[in-house]
Amino acid sequence: MTTAVRSPEVAVRSQAFIAGQWVAADGGGTFAVTNPATDEVLAHVPNCGAPETRRAIAAAHSALPAWRSRPAQERAAILRTWAQLMLRDRERLARILTLEQGKPITEARVEIAYAASFLDWYADEARRVYGETIPSSAADKRLLVLPRPIGVVAAITPWNFPSAMITRKTAAALAAGCTQVVKPAEDTPLSALALAELSVEAGVPAGVFNVVTGAPEAIAGELFANPLVRKVSFTGSTEIGRLLVKASATNLTRLSLELGGHAPFLVFADSDLDRAVDGAIASKFRNAGQTCVCANRIYVEESIREAFVAKLAAKTAALVVGDGLDEATQIGPLINDDAVTKVMGHVDDARAKGGRVVTGGARATVAGRAARFVAPTIIDAARDEMRCASEETFGPVAPIFSFASEAEVIERANATPYGLAAYCFTRDGARIMRMAESLEYGIVGINDAIPATAQAPFGGVKHSGYGKEGGHHGIEEYLVRTYVSWRL
């Protein structure tokens, strides 16, 4: 079934996709998907639970033998076609994404291309899954290591990148020869279903890729209780990640966890100030600050702090807040009311503890509606005891801390349980290496605010999780290695 949203511009799929069929939930239950900018109901989507998930797992299990034994070239061709179809339909997919998630349409187009790039990259990696031979100590023995797909896998994905967080997992899984069940976030299932629709056109066989929409506890409960599921890849909050680690104990289900972050963004006095300011804007305000890798703490060397804050505030104040479908919009709405409450809580807390709001600091009104818009905000004189210094803000608020020495800022940058991404702006070559080796993060951007790309390993350390997505490392997450000892 398709539902027309803002007819006739965008048609969205609004049924779950199991075993190659578009299906309703068993009891017929649905939940509403709304546009966070307007509260418009976009579609009603099946509220699936354990029985539907069980059927999706069974479908993936049935499809597994044929899919894993297909030559890698054939799997590669299908993945590449899927990527090309995404690019063909980029505008439609971007509109669906903006409608359900809120991000500016210009960013949604970038996300669709980024999402497609994983399918394209792993189309190549499918053909490079190599085994090993090991020199034997006995003349009549041969020792081999064979890579094999782990089996049926599942993905649980967040709302902030509704398309790319799926393909980053799906592309590697299918390239490795696994079959998959995806549970998208309830806020943003339409992008996942649009991907499923294109998978059919690309030639992905029935059962290889399934999308189950619905309540997370019931779906995840079945994913971890069912011994056919060999691996779950999760992107979301650290809090839910911890629950899944416990759930994985039953079947010792293998896990990859891409969790929350609290990125420090370090600006040294020897940096190119304009590049650092532009980097801070790109890192902090992309998706209205709702990214796991966004700068949460901006540390500026004291001697340039005033100049940095002045330039950053001027550029921030000029950012256009609005409905994501408006081409001029640079800051869309936050995803829901709880997000607005949390972000404004961080602003109020910073104010109460002596922070100086240089620009923003309030909710914004768009087309006469306060909705969920928050003005991009710069807070100077931020201090370590503020909430924004330790909690993930997940909104358009940039606190500026000052520092006096390299040793001091390294210690403060690392003083968090999170370890996803960190950024450093400097022109000193030796310092660059010291930073790369001292910052306890899975990703370090040097003079680069947007480091994520399909060919590089993305993932955190400490409470930001474990496992990698992207690059040749990403496919390893979906492989097991069988050691074969062969006596001739």
Number of residues engaging ligand NAP in binding (CB under 6 A): 27
CA-based nearest residue to 9, from 89, 72, 125, 76? 89
40 is catalytic: no
**Per rule CB under 6 A, is residue 33 in the interface with ligand NAP?**
no
Minimum distance of ligand NAP from residue 318's CB (angstroms): 27
Alpha helices in 379-451 (DSSP H): 406-414, 429-438
Q: Is 205 in the site for ligand NAP (CB under 6 A)?
A: no
CB of 428 vs ligand NAP, minimal distance in Å: 29
CA distances, 138 to each of 133, 134, 142 (Å)? 14, 11, 8
Cα dihedral sign for 310, 315, 318, 320?
A: negative
From 19-27, 108-116, 146-154, 160-168, give the range in contact with ligand NAP by CB under 6 A: 160-168
CB of 364 to ligand NAP, least distance (A): 22
Which one, 77 or 215, has the nearer CB to ligand NAP? 215
How far is C-alpha 32 from the geometric centre of its chain's CA atoms?
Answer: 23
* First-last CA distance in the chain: 58
Which of 52, 100, 222, 258 does the annotation list as catalytic? 258
What is the β-pairing status of strands 465-466 and 443-446?
unpaired
- Which of left, alpha, beta for 58 (phi over 0: left; psi -120 to 50: alpha)? alpha
Residue (187 or 301) nearer to ligand NAP, CB: 187
Site for ligand NAP in 244-283 (CB under 6 A): 258-261
Q: Is 235 in the site for ligand NAP (CB under 6 A)?
A: yes
- Judged by beta carbon, residue 16 or residue 165, the one nearer ligand NAP is 165
d(CA 486, CA 488): 6
Phi and psi (nearest 5°) for 368? 80, 0
Scan residues 446-485 and list those touching ligand NAP (CB under 6 A): 460
156 sits near ligand NAP (criterion: CB under 6 A): yes
Binding mask 366-395 for ligand NAP (x = CB under 6 A): --------------------------x---
Q: β-strands 397-403, 377-380: how paired?
A: parallel
- Give the whole-angstrom CA distance, residue 471 versus residue 452: 10
Site map 410..429 versus ligand NAP, x via CB under 6 A: ----------x---------
Specify the residue, 195 or 292, whose C-beta has the smaller distance to ligand NAP.
292
392 is catalytic: no
Distance CA 48, CA 141 (A): 52
**82 in contact with ligand NAP (CB under 6 A):** no
Place of tokens 């100590």: 137
401 lies in the binding site for ligand NAP (CB under 6 A)? no
Length of the chain, in residues: 488
* CA separation for the pair 8, 10 (Å, rounded): 6
Residue 220 interacts with ligand NAP (CB under 6 A): yes or no: yes
- Measure the CA–CA gap between 232 and 238, rounded to whole angstroms: 15
Q: Do 277 and 268 contact (CB within 8 A), yes or no?
A: no
Q: Which of 159, 209, 265, 299 touches ligand NAP by CB under 6 A? A: 159
Residue in the shown chain whose Cβ atom is closest to ligand NAP: 236
Contacting residues toward ligand NAP, per CB under 6 A: 156-161, 165, 183, 185-187, 216-217, 220, 235-237, 240, 243, 258-261, 292, 392, 420, 460
Residues annotated catalytic, as ranges:
258, 292
